[in-house]
A and B are shown apart, each in its own frame.
Chain A
């Protein structure tokens, strides 16, 4: 019996088959991939193998042996505790360290002087470790890297960070084992290939744990007062309260931090007796408070926690009894993950309540249930050619030990992300770092990297090294300010643009409290508690989430399926569906509905392809672009998961639209490129790229003023590149990313081929219809115009200051 098996036995636990399989595969020296959901015992499946190997060796290793990478800091704490527990029973001399952005400086240097046996960390912190001069020595004894929740990292640029780090570690540790842990994915094989690289010595282990998930929609009593639009769902608060009161513990999932704050307040307002047993958890709240909430969840001392995706993953706290999802979760995978928070014991079922925030979301609820019963989970699209992450990584190596370009190039090409990086673009990247992407000029003083005599690239000076160290990490944070009380006590962080709109004395809701602004000093917001009842709620700039392709497919099926009418959700929707039918029509599967009506805002033309927010954004720009070629016109566009709206001051007519076959898939790529260039999509992508590639320097911590002459927005960079250096790879990356991730170009082609077959139903309506309502009232809009600026100005006016 292996040591881990004995350890399980001494704890009165029975190892599960997949755990034994992992221990065996690990012993055989394999790398591998474990598909297992959270709470299934996946940590010990791998850690057990690692400890077995430790036990088999006579002399315990001196250096760092196992590295465990997780996407979330909150997860790190939990994993460190679990692994430490097992390790201590095996060898009390050894320890597991935790290294994240929250780790103190003294703890960090302790970990470096006396390396732990295992280290739990994040992709960003791993890169920080590689920026140290002695990192090759530090990692010298490393045997294994475990990448936890790989499905979460895969579809993000942090996944690219992991790819680069692994390729680099393998270059001087050829025996290194790599293990991934992932939930079930649509594209399992690709996920494995990207992580493990070209190796044949691997195992794939499936825990085969399928939880029963029960979904129940909370339905409004009457449809009359149920909103057609909105995203808060407060209307159904009494129903939510009933569930909360009935159960021992409930997690309330919201989609944004603002929604989280509002729900927390409203719950307390309605049920003051919850005080003391209600808490909130989101990414901007101070770490101490977050840790306290997680601990309280573990001890089962809280009745309800309102949270965002910050509690989506991992954290094996003991199960809550119930979960409530407020508004659309946007994907089947995320919904299942959230449902999995309840009934956490292996084999126990989970219940999740779906609380729709507006009428159409009831259709979504039915679609989600369909997806769950079919056990279908989305693919994750990995990033390709993320030059920004590559530039950051090369800088990271340069500030540490430096690197030899000819040695590093093949290693970079071995990753999935940069498999097509040809010598020409590699030269461009090097030139960007050495000469700021210009040819050598007498006057130019560009400084970033220098080449020393033996050909190694190093950072040019200490100041540049410092700038890089301060701005490492892929997750882009806007300019965050700390919030604290006058007497001290940090509450969390808040984005600068929100605070800049407040005057001293104004109140706002944060971390479940109502606070009054006293002043802003040294990048800190000084506040005091306020007794005010009304307060602004900060809207954090979080990206809007779009339906996955999968969910929109399910949604269409649901909508067109007569069977759906029998569900309780559709029954309660009936009044709205009837009104839609009366004002316009309910489209059938072979039809594309286009509605046209006028309001005092202008002429509205609304399309309903039901393909998800991201695709609609691109389709709106594309169709606006094609119309604008026919005659000068300006559009303002809005989009949601169901359709999109083109708003203009002049009408384009139906015959013109139909006669020109504007929905053809022909020339799709060219027209999309044009419309992306004109519209805002690429510009928004560029914001992250500029920060990751180190173009936007965010300043020194606590010394905001010193860097003032170096501050400039990504917008300005985008403009300057567009005008003066359009062949810049970072600029081109913004356009390419818009294609690959923003609008999923491959899918777009299919959608247009389908659309071409559909019958266009053009309805001239007298009023806005129920379907159109959420669209026309949306304030987040995009613009596209084929009129000259001068002509547009002549039709415009100035907004005057209110108190003038």
Chain B
């Protein structure tokens, strides 16, 4: 894990793609796309169901790591309209003692009142402690922005024509874009600028890429 200090706050980058905000004891999670597997299956495309179940295992692990107050979902919590995956999520959500907030993303089609009935607050964006939380990246915000949406990844190259494509945390001077937390999600490759910082996740470790060409 790598810890960043931004505006005198500490943020821990976890290999799962989540970010822990130490001061507020908050986990930030972007692009989980729950129900995506179920949505495909409902339309006759046989994605293994186990791919969806991995969310609950991954998050259970996160919750055991640090003291937790709150879960902040940075959009695209659900992939599409409601399907049976909702009931699994509902059962899980009802058991959680934490505060939960969803910042709406472009995929979030489930009516807010349904989420609110589970105690999940739904907002379009959130201002807090001088930070802005939003689903979409935006270079022009005044406050430092935490966001998702892109499913960022980078291509690494090395001697002997080696190449790797990996998901990453993408850190510019004004924003941090989180990788997708969901299992059945793709990758959008970015070409970093010289001033951008890139932290790739291997699933086991988060590693900052310093060397550049």
Contacts and interface: CB of A to CB of B under 8 A. Distances in A.
A120 to B, nearest CB: 33
Given A436-B46, A635-B160, A783-B162, A793 B41 contact: no
Contacts of B166: 789, 793
Interface string B137-178: 000000000000000001111111111101000000000000
Contact of A697 (B45, B80, B157, B160): B45
A444 B41 contact: yes
A437 B39 CA distance: 16
Contact of B160 (A460, A647, A797, A798): A647
Interface residues of A, number: 55
Contact of A721 (B48, B84, B185): B48
A445 B40 CA distance: 10
B6 interface: no
A799 B155 CA distance: 7
Contact of A694 (B44, B51, B157): B44
A464 B44 contact: yes
B123 interface: no
Contacts of A228: none
Interface stretch (A44-52, A77-85, A529-537, A705-713): A705-713
Given A443-B87, A636-B160, A801 B192 contact: yes
A448 B211 CA distance: 49
Contacts of B185: 716
Contact of B43 (A467, A647, A723): A467
A800 B162 contact: no
Interface residues of B, number: 54
Contacts of B47: 436, 717, 720
Contacts of B192: 798, 800-801, 804
B161 A781 contact: yes
A608 to B, nearest CB: 20
B131 interface: no
A460 B213 CA distance: 54
Interface string A764-795: 00000000000000000101010001101111
Contact of B213 (A446, A463, A790, A799): A799
Contact of A800 (B42, B87, B194): B194
A793 B46 contact: no
A797 B157 contact: yes
B95 interface: no
The residue in B42, B184, B193, B211 that gathers the most chain A C-beta atoms within 10 A of its C-beta is B42
Given A712-B184, A725-B50, A796 B209 contact: yes
Nearest to A464: B44
Interface string B28-40: 0000000010111
A649 interface: yes
A443 B88 contact: yes
Interface string A686-728: 0000000011010000000000011011001100110111001
A438 interface: yes
Nearest to B37: A720
Nearest to B49: A438
A800 B49 contact: no
A796 B157 contact: yes
B197 to A, nearest CB: 10
Nearest to B87: A443
B79 interface: yes
Contacts of B198: 798
B46 A796 contact: no
A610 B204 CA distance: 42
Nearest to B39: A709
B60 to A, nearest CB: 18
Contacts of B44: 446-448, 460, 464, 467, 694
Contacts of B160: 601-603, 634-636, 647-649
Given A713-B186, A793-B156, A725 B48 contact: yes
A459 to B, nearest CB: 8
Given A463-B43, A712-B184, A798-B154, A789 B164 contact: yes
B85 A443 contact: yes
Interface in A432-463: 432, 436-438, 441, 443-448, 460, 463
A796 B158 CA distance: 4
B144 to A, nearest CB: 21
A649 B158 contact: yes
A636 B161 contact: yes
A36 to B, nearest CB: 44
Nearest to B45: A695
A709 B81 CA distance: 10
Contacts of A710: 39-40, 43, 45
Contacts of B83: 445
A634 B162 contact: yes
A712 B209 contact: no
B122 interface: no
29 contacts: A432-B46, A436-B47, A437-B48, A438-B49, A443-B38, A444-B84, A445-B42, A467-B43, A467-B44, A601-B160, A602-B160, A634-B160, A634-B162, A636-B160, A647-B160, A649-B160, A720-B184, A724-B51, A785-B162, A793-B209, A796-B158, A796-B209, A797-B158, A798-B156, A798-B212, A798-B213, A799-B155, A800-B191, A801-B191
Interface of A: 432, 436-438, 441, 443-448, 460, 463-464, 467, 601-603, 634-636, 647-649, 694-695, 697, 709-710, 712-713, 716-717, 720-721, 723-725, 728, 781, 783, 785, 789-790, 792-801, 804
Closest 8 CB pairs of A and B: A602-B160, A436-B46, A448-B44, A797-B211, A649-B159, A804-B193, A796-B158, A636-B161
Given A649-B160, A695-B46, A716-B185, 7 more contacts: A441-B49, A443-B87, A647-B160, A647-B161, A720-B48, A799-B191, A800-B194
